[in-house]
Amino acid sequence: AQGVALALMHRLKTRPQFQAAMAGGTVSRTPHFALHRLGLVPPDGETPKAQAETSKSTDGSGSVPQEQHAAQALFVVPAHENAGPWLGAMVPKRWARRAVTRNTIKRQIYVAGADFESQLPVAAHVVRLRSTFDRKQFPSATSDALKAAVRAELKQLFAYAVRQQQKSAKAPKPSGENP
């Protein structure tokens, strides 16, 4: 560590956490992966500008809808821990038949997430494998070529999501809303 208290990236562990994060919406896609995000409201109740895009209320009242309160309860951290982004990996057997391949892809997801940890908002993120990697191109269940391809695509996935978030944070508000 560099002497600076960094936010810890938490891992999604329960089915309701994954379901809530996936219900938040898709923020980025690549040919093999999709990134879902559910914006989280900090414990003090203030919504930072960077999270405005992912935690807007649907009724325009500025309050958090009831369904989101239930989702927020799934992501409570102890007071002594820093609030940070949450990350989960979903690699279905349908798209990666061998366990060694699924585990390799999950490891790459968590490594890529850690690389972008400081740029991600405090939100629940799920990276979902949405199509198979061609077995003819990657015959080994876990090869350096497969790891490199997965890592490159995950880097692209997270980079796009970060760019989109920064654009929405910098975008001027429509003239009908108060500053």
* Average pLDDT of the residues in 18-36: 94
Taking only the tens place, the pLDDT of each residue in 53-68 is 444 444 433 344 545 5
Integer angstrom CA distances of residue 148 from 9, 109, 143? 23, 12, 9
Return d(Cα 22, Cα 42) in angstroms, integer. Answer: 19
Least confident of 7-16, 30-39, 87-96: 7-16
Taking only the tens place, the pLDDT of each residue in 101-122 is 999 999 999 999 999 999 998 8
Phi-psi region of 25 (alpha: psi -120 to 50; beta: other; left: phi over 0): left
State yes or no: pLDDT of 52 exceeds 80.
no
User: Contact, 125 vs 36, CB < 8 A?
Assistant: yes
Integer angstrom CA distances of residue 132 from 94, 138, 146, 147? 8, 11, 12, 14
Integer angstrom CA distances of residue 23 from 98, 105, 108, 161, 170? 28, 23, 23, 17, 25
- Residue among 29, 30, 54, 35 at smallest CA distance from 128: 35
β-strand pairing of 86-90 with 10-11: parallel
